[in-house]
Amino acid sequence: MRKHKEKFYLSQGNCAEKKTVFWGEDGSEENFFREQSFSFSHFLNKSSRFFSKYTTILQRIKTRPLNREFILNLWGHKAEDCHTFLVEDSQQKSSILQRVYELSAEYKKIKIHADDICLIIDELFTNLVYNAPNTGNNISRKETPEKLNSYLKLAPKYSQIFLSISENSLIIGAEDYFGSLSLKKLLHKMKLSFSGQSEDHFSDLSGGAGLGMRLIYDRCDGFILRINPKKYGMICLIIDITKRKNIKKVSSSFIVDQEEKDNE
């Protein structure tokens, strides 16, 4: 078995029970993120047409880490379906968004999702530039482009944003090689959001947790995270393009694959 974390907590404390929560069985989506001492492994929406794929992912992470290729293959996406953008320059967001709008025009089936796609990619780009490299660098939004670009070069590889399009699904994702995402902070922000205590985008969080999490979560069918602390981070968002999601009315599945830290 892999050395990876099976449980995550929204607050301090310990609970021996390991649990996968199913929407409609174990309480509400709000309870999932809001309860102070609620322990969980993952959150799956049983009504999703992709439910069986999410259960396949749960089996996978027991023995092997998740990666982009596995997720794309599971949803039947081919290599030519995936468009990748290297984040080499802090000023390239507008060119990436322009290309995404062009792709939306080429694929008629995703036109209706174009605004949501660009909003998500905008948030992911911001995270990769300002938050992912924030491993003690105290990166400010007022930094010069040159300074921001120097931070981007600190990782062994450039971060990437990818967009994959098939007949019935979109997969939008980001990969970075800083591994600075703080799951604890990210979940804490979700808890605040579902509790009505905060409606802000989750920006300006040290440790790379500024994902605009709730904004993204409300627009996808599946939210998949892979975290290898201080080494690698990946977020994959699954959008069902056979329907228009009613924002804030449909629960998204939430899966996290987190490696144990080396010193644990």
Residue 110 lies in a domain: yes
Distance set, CA 195 to CA 33, 86, 128, 199 (Å): 8, 36, 27, 10
Residue given tokens 């804490």 in the structure block = 188
Give helix then strand counts, H and E, for the chain.
8, 11
- The CATH number assigned to the domain holding 103 equals 3.30.565.10
pLDDT, tens digit, 9 for 90 and up, residues 160-199: 999 999 989 999 999 999 888 877 777 777 777 766 665 4
User: Which of the four pLDDT bands, split at 50, 70 and 90, describes residue 5?
Assistant: low
Is 156 inside any structural domain?
Answer: yes
User: Is it the case that residue 227 has pLDDT exceeding 70?
Assistant: yes
pLDDT digits (tens, 9 = 90+) for 238-259: 999 887 655 555 568 888 888 8
Q: 108-145 pLDDT, tens per residue?
A: 788 888 888 999 999 999 888 888 887 655 666 667 77
The model's pTM: 0.82
Q: How many domains does the chain have?
A: 1
The tokens for 20 are: 């996968």
**Res 53 pLDDT > 90:** yes
Give CA–CA dist 22/15, Å, rounded: 18
For 233, the domain range is 4-259
- At 254 the pLDDT is 85
Tokens found for residue 143 = 């930094």
**Domain assignment present for 56:** yes
Residue 264 in domain: no
Closest residue by Cα to residue 214 from 154, 241, 254, 163: 254
Share of the chain above pLDDT 90, in %: 29
Identify the CA nearest to 222 among candidates 61, 48, 90: 48
pLDDT recorded at residue 135: 64
Angle at which helix 93-106 crosses helix 114-126, to 10 degrees, equals 160
Kindly report the average pLDDT of the chain as a whole number: 76
73 lies in a domain? yes
